[in-house]
């Protein structure tokens, strides 16, 4: 059975400046693309983006709720991927050698 591990990363909050990107949407899309490509290079598959609440302290005794956007990634666990590979590459079991017929020529001849 294959198990999956997950990784949650904060979504980019600002776009990146690049040549040819003039609008804020284009810059943000470039930042998001860079993050997705970076994670894919490490073997992570993109699942979804979520916005989740987080209670944070504000002031001495106050609390406020803020929302954070995160990107969720998944991949097969590394231990199992390594364990499955040698089993797949192992040579098939060899069948036991067939019994060889006794050669009569090898028997010493007796002189009478």
Q: For the chain, which residues make up each domain, given as ranges?
A: 4-79
Residue 94 pLDDT greater than 80, yes or no: no
Band of the pLDDT at 108, cuts 50, 70, 90?
A: low
Residue 100 pLDDT greater than 80, yes or no: no
pLDDT in tens, 15-47: 988 888 999 999 999 999 999 999 999 999 999
Band of the pLDDT at 58, cuts 50, 70, 90?
A: confident
Do 14 and 37 meet the contact criterion of CB atoms below 8 Å apart? Answer: no
Residue 91 pLDDT greater than 60, yes or no: no
Alpha carbon distance 2, 89 (integer Å):
18
Residue 112 pLDDT greater than 70, yes or no: no
Name the DSSP letter for residue 106: G
Q: What is the mean pLDDT of the chain?
A: 81
In this structure, the number of other CB atoms found within 10 A of the CB of residue 76 comes to: 14
Alpha carbon distance 95, 78 (integer Å):
33
């Amino acid at each position: 059975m294959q198990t999956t591990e997950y990784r949650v990363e904060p979504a980019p909050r600002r776009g990146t400046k690049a040549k040819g990107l003039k609008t804020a949407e284009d810059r943000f899309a470039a930042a998001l693309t860079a993050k997705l490509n970076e994670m894919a290079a490490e073997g992570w598959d993109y699942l979804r983006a979520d916005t989740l609440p987080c209670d944070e302290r504000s002031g001495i005794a106050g609390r406020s709720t803020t929302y954070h956007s995160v990107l969720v990634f998944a991949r097969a666990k590394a231990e199992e991927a390594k364990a499955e590979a040698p089993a797949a590459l192992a040579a098939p079991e060899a069948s036991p050698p067939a019994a060889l017929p006794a050669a009569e020529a090898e028997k010493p001849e007796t002189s009478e």
